[in-house]
Amino acid sequence: MASSHESLTAEEYVEAFKSFLDHSTEHQCMDQFNKEEMPNIMAGLGNGKSTINVLGVGSGTGEQDLKMIRILQAAHPGVLIDNEIIEPNPQHVAAYKELVNQAPDLQNVSFIWHQLTSSQYEQQMKEKGAHKKFDFIHMIQMLYRVEDIPNTIKYFHSCLDHHGKLLIIILSDSSGWASLWKKYRHCLPSTDSGHYITSNSVTDVLKRLGVEYHVYEFLSGWDITECFTEGDPVGGHMMDFLTGTKNFLGTAPPGLRQRLQEALCQPECSSKKDGRIIFSNNLSMIVVES
């Protein structure tokens, strides 16, 4: 029987993603990395230049970008920061611009947005014969939406200046996502257009490229308790985010729904804490040398 599953539109994805952020420690986990590791990473950038070039690939609404820019400002007072952003979602770009407009402390930072996918950007640069070099490039939680992962990593790594660094943040192989994708893929609808990629896939590419890198592992959790409450709208959004499918709970055959809910409860995917079900959302922060 043909399934009536539909993929999420850009607007629906924004909504589903928001419900994920509201109930997970994703951003707190990135904040911990920013606090513990980032100042050190940032201090080594720029090599005494008067302008530091930064490129965000798939920057979304910009909250994480601006946190990193501020750490960079603190590490290099008075230095100009040239920040370019690649982000295809028009709503994300608008939200990012709004955030910049409201920020009082970004006088020495210039912003250029490219409303493109990473592959469109790469294509455009190659057609122009342009090859701008960057001191810091970051790809945060975005490789799931990329067609050719090895070549994308290779291309952006080639955009690093001497002493530049590439930061890739991706789900860890110790996360519930990794178990779900490897072991319970049959429980997911075929509409999920993303690639099931975790940290090991990235480090395999980096090994083949022969580049130096360091992996930092951070624990993170996502409270998915509402996914198991019949008719709960928050649980509905969460299931849509998990499966990349519009109204998954309303359109999925009951058998599929039940199999996925059972998979989510497995110990390799989640743990129970104070009667809540916490899905493991552990992240790997991979810092790659130029």
Q: Where are the alpha helices (DSSP H) in the chain?
A: 10-23, 26-36, 38-43, 63-75, 90-102, 118-128, 149-158, 176-183, 199-209, 233-243, 248-251, 254-264
40 annotated as belonging to a binding site for a ligand: no
In sequence order, the β-bridge partners of residue 138 are 56, 167
Q: What are the phi and psi torsion angles at 168 (to 5°)?
A: -115, 120
In sequence order, the β-bridge partners of residue 51 are 80
Q: How far apart are CA 164 and CA 207, in angstroms?
A: 18
Q: How far apart are CA 187 and CA 168, in angstroms?
A: 28
Q: Which residues contact 243 (CB under 8 A, 6 or more apart)?
A: 188, 189, 191, 192, 252, 260
Q: What are the phi and psi torsion angles at 224 (to 5°)?
A: -105, 20
Token pair recorded at residue 71 = 């750490």
Through-space distance between the first and last CA atoms of the chain, rounded to whole angstroms: 50
Q: Could you tell me which of 113, 63, 53, 67 has the C-alpha nearest to residue 88?
A: 113
Q: Residues at the annotated binding site for substrate?
A: 26, 281
Q: Residues at the annotated binding site?
A: 26, 281
